[in-house]
Structure 1
C-alpha cells in the first residue's frame, strides 16, 4: 500500500509541481491538515491522492468517478505493484472523508499565493480591485439536496432540480476566485455579500452591480478600510438638482439613514449606522446599439477627484463585466453549472474543488503571460485547460532539464491562445440551434412510468 501511494504522489507532484509550483505541493496540503488536526489512515486513497484525483476529475470533460479511478489505475499500470479495483466505492468514501475546511483552506491559499504575485503595474490607481457577483448551480435531485437547497417553488415536486445560490469575489488583476458563499436559491445577493466582506483586505476596492448598492453595506465596506464602486440601485431616484457638483456628470451626494431597519440587519447593527453618508455619484449615457441600458449612475465612496477621476471610475466599472466572464468560465468551460454530488456536504466540497482548479489554471495563465510578455487576462482559460491536460503525459514521462523544456513549451503555446478585445460588441439575444422536440417533464417520473405501463 505504501509503495502504491508513494508512486501516485510522485506522479501527481510531477504533473502539478512545475505548472503550479508552490501552490499545491504535498507540503502545503500537509500544513493544512496539521492546522486542522486531521488524522488519517495509511491507505491508497489518502487525502493527497484523493485530492489530486478530485482535481483531475473536475478538470476532465468526463467527470465521472469511474474515469477518476481509471486514471489512478493507469498511473500504476506500468509499475510492479498491485493494481487497485475498478470499483469506485473506495474513492467515493475517500472524497466524503476529506474535510470541507481543508478544501476551503487550500482554495484560499491558492488565491492568496496568486495575489502575492501582483505588482504595481497590474493595480488600478495603486489599489487592488475585487469584483463581486452572484450566480446559481444545480445538483442531482436527491432527498438530501432538496432539503438543503430546495428547487424553485414554480416547479412541481419531482420535476425540477435542487439549486443553490452562490456569491463569489474575484480579483480583477488576476481573475482568480478569492472567496465563496452559498445558500438557498431565494437568498438575496446582499446576504451572500455580507458573508464575503471579511475576505477583503484594507485598501481594496469592491466593484459590483446595483444589487449590492445599499446604505449599510457601503458603511460596512468603509469601516473595513476599503472602498466601493457600485451601480446605483433602481429604487433610488436619480436627480441632477441635489448634490454638490464637482465635475461633468459628477457630484457629491448626502445619503440619509433609512427610517426602518432593512431586511438582513439586526436592530443592534442598524442602531450603530451613522445618520448620513457622503457618496459620489457619476452618471453617463450608453449609445452603443444593442445595449439595453441607456443611462448608468454609479455610486462610489472614492471621493478624491484628483486621484480617482470620473473617467477612471467609468473605465473601472466597464471592467465589471469580467466577473460575468469568470463565472462563465467556471460554469460552462469547467462544467460547474451542473454538479454531480448527491449530498449537500459533498456539493460544497465539489464547489471548492472547482474553484481550486480554476485558481490553479489562472496561476498557470499568469506564469505564461508574465514570462512571455502577454496580458494574463487576455489568455484563453479553455485553451490553457486543454494544453495542460494534453501536456501531463509528457511531464510525467520526463525529468530534469527535458521536463523543464517541456514546461517552457507549455507556457509558450498557452500565450499563443489569446482572446482578442472586441469593444462595443453587441449580438442579438437569439438561439440558432433548435432544441429537441420533446415535451417538458411536468409530472414526477413514477407517474410517467405508470402512464407508460397502462398505455
Structure 2
C-alpha cells in the first residue's frame, strides 16, 4: 500500500507540482493538514492522492468518478504493484473524508499566492482592484440537497433542482478567485458580500454593481481602509442639481443615514453608523448599439479627482464585465454550473475544488503571460486547460530535466492562445439552434410515469 501511494504521489507531483509550482505541491497540502490537525490512515486514497485525483477530475471534460479511478489505475499500470479495483466506492468514500476546512484553506492559500505575484506595474492607479458578484449553481435532486439548498418556491416538488447562491470576489489583475461564500438561493447579494469583507486588505478598491451600493456597506468598507466603485442603486434618484461639481458630470454629494434600520443590520450596528458621508457621483451615457444599459450613475469613495480622474473611474467600471466572464469560465468552461455531488457537504467541497482548480489555471496563465510578454487576462482559460491535459502524458513520462523543458514549452503554447480584445462588441441576443420539441416537466416523475401506464 505504501509503495502504491508513493508512486501516485510521484506521478501527481510530476504534472501538478511543476506547472503550479508553489501553489499546490505536497508540502503546502501537508502544512494545511498539520495546521488543521487532521489525522488519516495510511491507505491508497490518503488526502494527498484523493485531492489530486479530485482536481484532475474537475479539470477533465469527463468528470465521472469512474474516469478518475481509471486514471489512478493507469498511473499504477506500468509499475509492478497491485492495481486497485475499478469500483469507485473507495475513491468516493475518500472524497467524503476530505475535510471541508482543508479544501477551503487550500483555496484561500492559492488565492493569496496568486495575489502575491502582482507587482505595482499591474495595479490601477497604484491600487489593487477586486470585483464582487453573486451567482447560482444547481445540484442533483436529492432529499439532503433539497433540505439544505431548496429549489425555487415557484417550482413544484420533484420538477426542479436544488440551487445554491454563491458570492465570489475576483482579482481584476489576475482574474483569480479571492474569496467565496455559499448560501441558499433567496439570499440577497449584499448579505453574501458582508461575509466577504473580511478578505479585503487596506488600500483595496472594491468594484461591484448596484446590488452592493448600500450606505452601511460603504461605511464598513471605508473603515477597513478600502474604497468602493459601485453603480448607484435604482432606489436613489439621480439629479445633477445638488452637490459640489468637480468635473463634467462629476460631483461630490452628501448621503445621509437611513431613517430606519435596514434588514440584515442589528440596532447596535445601525446606531454606530455616522449621520452622513460624502461620496462622489459620476453620471454618463452609453451610446453603443445593442447595450441594454444606456445611462449609468456611479458612486465611489475615491474623492480625489486628481489621483482618480473621471475617465479613469468610468473605464474601471467598464471592466466590471470581466467578473461575468470569470463566472462563465467557472460555470460553463470548467462545468461548475451543474454539480454532481449528492449531499450538501460534498457539494460545498466540490465548489471549493472547482475554485482551487480555476486558481491553478489562472496561475499557469499568469506565468505564461508574464514570461512571454502576453497579457495574462487575454489568454484563453479553455485553451490553457486543453494544453495542460494534453501535456500531462508527456510530463509523466519525462525525466526531471526533460520535464522542465516540456514545462517551458507548455507555457509558450499557452501564451500563443490569446483571445482578441473587441471593445464595444455587441451581438443580438437570439438563438439559432432550436431546442428539442419536448414539453417542460410540470409534474413529478412518478406522476408522469403513472399517467403513461394508465394511458
Give CA deviations for 1:302-322 in whole Å, capped at 9, x if unaligned: 001111111110110011000
Could you tell me which residue of structure 2 aligns to residue 130 of structure 1? Answer: 130
Could you tell me which residue of structure 2 aligns to residue 264 of structure 1? Answer: 264
Could you tell me which residue of structure 2 aligns to residue 2 of structure 1? Answer: 2
**Aligned: 1:12 with 2:6:** no
Q: Secondary structure, in 3 states, of the residue corresponding to 2:365? A: helix
Q: How does 1:93-104 map to 2 (within 5 A)?
A: 93-104=93-104
Kindly state the Cα deviation for residue 50 of structure 1 after the two structures are TM-superposed. Answer: 0.3
Q: How does 1:29-428 map to 2 (within 5 A)?
A: 29-428=29-428
Kindly state the Cα deviation for residue 401 of structure 1 after the two structures are TM-superposed. Answer: 2.3
Q: Secondary structure, in 3 states, of the residue corresponding to 1:168? A: strand
Give CA deviations for 1:128-149 in whole Å, capped at 9, x if unaligned: 0000000000000000000111
Distance 2:44 2:187 in 1: 40
Q: Secondary structure, in 3 states, of the residue corresponding to 2:274? A: coil
Distance 2:328 2:135 in 1: 10
Distance 1:436 1:201 in 2: 49
Distance 2:83 2:125 in 1: 56
> How many residues were matched structurally?
455
**TM-score, normalised via structure 2 length:** 0.99
Distance 1:83 1:229 in 2: 56
**TM-score, normalised via structure 1 length:** 0.99
Distance 2:198 2:86 in 1: 43
Q: Secondary structure, in 3 states, of the residue corresponding to 2:403? A: helix
Distance 2:410 2:143 in 1: 45
Distance 1:206 1:183 in 2: 21
Kindly state the Cα deviation for residue 399 of structure 1 after the two structures are TM-superposed. Answer: 1.6
Kindly state the Cα deviation for residue 165 of structure 1 after the two structures are TM-superposed. Answer: 0.6
Give CA deviations for 1:174-193 in whole Å, capped at 9, x if unaligned: 00000001111111000000
Q: Secondary structure, in 3 states, of the residue corresponding to 1:19? A: coil
Unaligned stretches of 5+ residues in structure 2? none
**RMSD over equivalenced CA pairs, Å:** 0.6
Distance 2:291 2:361 in 1: 32
Kindly state the Cα deviation for residue 452 of structure 1 after the two structures are TM-superposed. Answer: 1.7
Give CA deviations for 1:38-67 in whole Å, capped at 9, x if unaligned: 000000000000000000010111111111
Give CA deviations for 1:167-211 in whole Å, capped at 9, x if unaligned: 000000100000001111111000000000000111000000000
Distance 1:365 1:172 in 2: 14
Unaligned stretches of 5+ residues in structure 1? none
Kindly state the Cα deviation for residue 93 of structure 1 after the two structures are TM-superposed. Answer: 0.6
Kindly state the Cα deviation for residue 265 of structure 1 after the two structures are TM-superposed. Answer: 0.6
Kindly state the Cα deviation for residue 396 of structure 1 after the two structures are TM-superposed. Answer: 0.5
Kindly state the Cα deviation for residue 220 of structure 1 after the two structures are TM-superposed. Answer: 0.5
Distance 1:425 1:286 in 2: 13
Q: Secondary structure, in 3 states, of the residue corresponding to 1:241? A: coil
Q: Secondary structure, in 3 states, of the residue corresponding to 2:385? A: helix
Kindly state the Cα deviation for residue 402 of structure 1 after the two structures are TM-superposed. Answer: 1.3
Q: Secondary structure, in 3 states, of the residue corresponding to 1:22? A: helix
Distance 1:24 1:261 in 2: 45
